[in-house]
Amino acid sequence: MEKKIVIIGAGGHAGVVKDVIESDGRYAIAGVIDARFAKGSLWKDGIYSLGGDEELEHVFEAGVGNVAIGIGQNAQLRFKIYSKLKKIGFKFPTLVHASAIISDSATIDEGTIIMPVAVINCYAKIGKFGIINTAAIVEHDCRIGENVHVAPGACVLGGVSIGNNSHVGAKAVIIQSRTVGENVIIGAGAVVTKDVSKESIIVGVPARSI
């Protein structure tokens, strides 16, 4: 039996989240929450706006108890929304696109979204509220913290550890067994060959701090 879920945000990333929810198949999308769309207006594909943030408690009281965040780039905003909605009582299911490959021994915490053709290999652990984006690879024995975004085409090799609230840019590569601290931004296409201290921004091949 389908359960209802609401998507927070109505931009481009929300559209991908919509596709993942539909592919996952366990939830029916009740609508989107985004102040840019008037309540009752069509968003896309027969899905309508439920209004702005002021409607969240009404949506929960109406029986929509599950939520997915459709905001991809702003990690701080994502976590702020997550914290607010947890207080209301919403649940954050893990959502996995049918084309993703997930090892039976991998573990994925609540609220994380696994995008199309992503790969998560054996004994990897993915923390709460992350994004493993399209065609990203998380190899064996990796430890990915909370609210981490591994962008499209990025490759995190075996035994890598990534701290909370970090971002791995599109097609970046992190060499095996490296440690990346919290609140790190790794630029698109970077190749990380050394450990990265917290709150760093690194770019290039090999990657360097800026």
- Residues with a catalytic annotation lie at 140
Collapsing DSSP states into helix, strand and coil, what is residue 11? coil
Helices and strands per DSSP (H, E), number in the chain: 3, 24
Q: What is the amino acid identity at position 136?
A: A
Collapsing DSSP states into helix, strand and coil, what is residue 19? helix
Distances, alpha carbon 181 to alpha carbons 9, 120, 166, 201, in Å: 28, 21, 8, 11
What is the rounded distance in angstroms from the CA atom of residue 128 to the CA atom of residue 15?
21
Give the tokens for residue 35.
């102040």
What's the order of all strands across the beta sheet hosting 167-168?
95-96, 113-114, 131-132, 149-150, 167-168, 185-186, 201-203, 208-209
Given the DSSP bridges, would you call strands 208-209 and 201-203 parallel, antiparallel or unpaired? antiparallel
